[in-house]
Amino acid sequence: MNSMKNEKNLLKEQFSKTIEDHKKEIQFLYKSDSIPWVLGYSGGKDSTAIVQLIWNAISDLPVQERTKRIYVITTDTLVENPVVSGWVRTSLKRMQEQAIIDEMPIEPVHLTPELVDTFWVNLIGKGYPSPRPKFRWCTERLKIRPVDKFIRNVAGTHGEAIVVLGTRKAESAGRAARLKKYEEMGRRDFLSNHTSIESAFVYAPISDWSNDDVWLYLMQVSNPWNNPNKDLLTMYQGATSDGECPLVVDTTTPSCGSSRFGCWVCTLVDEDKSMTAMIQNDDEKTWMLPLLKLRNELDEHDHDKREFKRLNGGVMLKHNVDELVPGPYTQHSRAQWLKKLLSVQEAIRSNPETPEFMSEFEIITLDELNEIRRIWINEKYEIEDLVPKIYEEITGREFPVQSFDQSQPYGEAELKILKNDVCKGNEIRFSLLRNLLEIERRYRSSRRRAGLLDKLEDALKKGAFENENEALEFAIRRRDNKQKLEKIRDRDTDIHEFQSIVSEFKN
């Protein structure tokens, strides 16, 4: 018994010494220059530990020595798990209030993607398919750009910036490799060069901590901005499929490190394990079921919902297969996604089990709806102006923005005649004629017609094929001709074979 007690006290002393050593290191770095710090905060265990560690270290300094600004930034992709998103918003608010009270140089910053980069503007507006490993269009737009822009602004104003991350080698092989790369590029003690921003450095003070080290610290040391760490533990516990989230018991005990929170729409993973587990483990979270269902629909095989042409109207064959690479979502599919999205939003809002703080839950913002509307009308020439109609059909409320183009002469009746009578229901012909008419209308009263021919050519290119089979035949013929041309260029081709190929082209 005494042996166990002594071992426990020894571990406690070692833990305290480790934390004190970290705090001294942080204080030394903080006071060594005037370069502002940018702390990445996601609301998860690692980022909470890093902000808490630095807060406690700097709070031990005299107020007059807390001269350097520390920005705590969080990136809201606007499609975050709503439970985690609510936790982060609450945490940032408390952080800001407590920083004022404690006279801390900490400034929480809430970042969001540019409107043109948001998930729904790209998927529903432009028609991008749901992200896949070979077309991972979301990460750069939703997460990297907002952070890079902020860091560059800070570095541009102050000359340099130090980015503080809760990255740990124990998290994954990929993260460990990136961390090793940072270390190899090191310019000064404790700091490494940022991989993409020359005037920024990276500081990763808990890089050697294990999952259990993180939880031990969070459970042993009080949260300085009064956001209970036990609640964070509970959130992680609810996000594991077996409901277990133990701390250190023995070397075989799994920790909560495998519980990952992120975008609820993510199709880069096989399933959203954290949201699924939250719903299974907590009856009060069943209101999220419509979100999970919609996410799983996004993850389904969607080639039947997409055009056979690329976004620019071109066609491309799959590698070594006589099949076309599918393009963006069709107009019908995009309209259906918007209907489903708004239906889920309304279902969550009207569900009596939805928490009060989620009663005005917004799955898609009005700004995003307006940008989708602009893209459909201005860039895709879809003058049917479907966004307000879909909004009113699903919500039963009038769309809060007036008509997009008051001078539009073609109404529902005219477009119906064009589609059914003139084009005999053929969607491709209808889209081509509608687009040509709209381009002509926009340039009709314009004195300068620069770009008109390019727009007409672009429209004709997008309507060049009557159907998918015709496009596939064209793509195969183009591939075969390319191979023949490469054969012609081959110096080993004899004269008779060369004449045969040329004769084939003439025919």
Domain boundary among 182, 215, 238: 238
Q: What is the mean pLDDT of residues 408-423?
A: 89
Answer yes or no: do 449 and 480 share one domain.
Answer: no
Instruction: Answer yes or no: is pLDDT of 14 > 80.
Output: no
User: Could you tell me if 27 and 61 are in contact, meaning their C-beta atoms sit under 8 angstroms apart?
Assistant: yes
Q: Same structural domain for residues 28 and 86?
A: yes
Q: What is the mean pLDDT of residues 453-473?
A: 90
Question: Does residue 230 belong to any structural domain of this protein?
Answer: yes
452, 486: one domain: no
Q: Let me know whether 106 and 128 are in one domain.
A: yes
pLDDT value of position 359: 77
Does residue 30 lie in a domain region?
yes
Helix (H, G, I), strand (E, B) or coil at 453: helix
**Confidence at residue 499, expressed as pLDDT on a 0 to 100 scale:** 63
Give domain status of residue 181, yes or no: yes
Q: What is the mean pLDDT of residues 50-61?
A: 96
CA-CA distance, 473 to 366, in Å (whole number)? 43
Six-digit token pair at 308?
A: 């056979």
Strands 200-203 and 191-193: antiparallel
- Same domain, yes or no, for 442 and 488? no
The answer to whether residue 404 sits within a structural domain is no
Most confident region among 119-123, 179-183, 464-468 by mean pLDDT = 119-123
Q: Binning pLDDT at 50, 70 and 90, where does residue 491 land?
A: low
Domain count, the chain: 3
> What per-residue confidence (pLDDT) applies to 284?
80
What average pLDDT does this structure show over 243-265? 50
CATH number for the domain that contains residue 148: 3.40.50.620
Q: Is residue 47 in a domain?
A: yes
Instruction: Tell me which of 238, 270, 286 is where a domain ends.
Output: 238
266 inside domain: no
HEC string of 411-425 equals: CHHHHHHHHHHHCCC
pLDDT at residue 358 greater than cutoff 90? no
190 has pLDDT over 90: no
pLDDT of 114 higher than 80: yes
**pLDDT beyond 80 at 106:** yes
Q: Residue 127: is its pLDDT beyond 50?
A: yes
Which pLDDT belongs to residue 248? 32
Is residue 260's pLDDT more than 70?
no
Q: Which residue has the higher pLDDT, 245 or 456?
A: 456
Is 269 inside any structural domain? no
Decide: residue 86, CB within 10 A, 0-12 exposed, 13-18 middle, 19+ buried.
Answer: middle
For 168-188, what is each residue's pLDDT tens digit?
765 555 545 554 554 554 446
> Average of pLDDT values for 196-200?
86
Query: Which tens digits make up the pLDDT trace of 146-174?
Result: 999 999 999 999 999 999 988 776 555 55
Residues 368 and 235: their CA atoms lie apart, in Å, by: 30
Task: Name 192's bridge partners.
Answer: 202
Rg (CA), the chain: 29
- Please choose, from the candidates 3, 85, 88, 6, the residue with its C-alpha nearest in 3D space to the C-alpha of residue 51: 88
Query: Does residue 252 register a pLDDT over 80?
Result: no
For residue 372, is it within any domain?
no
- The answer on 479 and 462 residing in a single domain is no
What pLDDT, on the 0 to 100 scale, is given for residue 206?
87
Torsion on CA atoms 422, 424, 428, 431, rounded to nearest 10: 40
For 84, the domain range is 2-238
Q: Last residue of a domain, which of 181, 205, 238?
A: 238
User: Do 500 and 413 belong to one domain?
Assistant: no
Res. 254 pLDDT band, cuts 50 70 90: very low
The DSSP secondary structure of 274-327, one letter per residue, reads: HHHHHHHH-GGGGGGHHHHHHHHHHTS--GGGB-SS-TTS---BPTTSSSBPP-
Q: Which of 41-55, 264-278, 410-424 has the lowest mean pLDDT?
A: 264-278
Q: Are residues 139 and 211 in the same domain?
A: yes
Tokens 């560059």 locate to 152
CA dihedral 168, 171, 172, 177 (to 10 degrees): 0
| Residue 506 pLDDT grade (very low, low, confident, very high; cuts 50, 70, 90) | low
**One domain, residues 117 and 171:** yes
Residues 185 and 141 in one domain: yes
Distance from CA of residue 187 to its chain's centroid? 32
HSE (side-chain half, CA atoms, 13 Å) at 37: 30
For the residues 289-295, what does the mean pLDDT come to? 93
Same domain, 478 and 492: yes
Q: If you average pLDDT over residues 218-233, what whole number do you get?
A: 92
Asked whether residue 416 falls in the same domain as residue 500, the answer is: no
Range of 130-134, 200-204, 321-325, 365-369 with top mean pLDDT: 365-369
